[in-house]
Amino acid sequence: MSTQDAPERGTATLEGPAPRVLLIQAPYYADVVGGMREGALRTLEAIGATVEIVDVAGAFELPAALRMALRAEGSRGGHDGYLILGCVVKGDTDHYEHICREACRGVMDISVETAAPIGFALLTVATLQQAVERSLPDRHNKGSEAAHALVGQIALARRLGLAPTGPKA
């Protein structure tokens, strides 16, 4: 599927109180991640979400920052969900493969272990132009797609009684 085939997504919806979201971003490619963040924020603002943003140095640090947030917040957490954004562009060495694989594995391991609602958009691209195309303010914006996925995960966690559904103290 090419970016031209991306589905149209409607406005995200979520029953209950507006969620609190922690957005953890690795803004190494500031323009790309900034575009993804703006797409995500548009999606989350549509449901009234409160979003706190923290930066980490790079993609490798994303899973550790997620783990730190979950540990600091305890079993019920201070946030209803977590959104992870970053970008890795392939270079001339195999560093790309290691970083992409381990960052993705780290977030997946935490997701499966904790059942925390997580939206994940780590662009793993061959060229910077591919990243730019996935961060534009259109239906192909991967930050917006990750935010839609996160809203769905928050809704599921609430339905199953696994996530807080009220305002935090």
Binding-site residue numbers for 5-amino-6-(D-ribitylamino)uracil are: 28, 59-61, 87-89, 120
* CB-CB contact of 80 with 115 (8 Å): no
Taking alpha carbons only, the member of 118, 132, 141, 117 closest to residue 42 is 141
Catalytic residue among 79, 95, 140, 148: 95
Terminal C-alpha separation, the chain: 44
Binding-site residue numbers are: 28, 59-61, 87-89, 92-93, 120, 134
| 95 has catalytic annotation | yes
Binding-site residue numbers for (2S)-2-hydroxy-3-oxobutyl phosphate are: 92-93, 134
Cβ contacts of residue 114 below 8 Å, gap of 6+? 70
Active site residues: 95
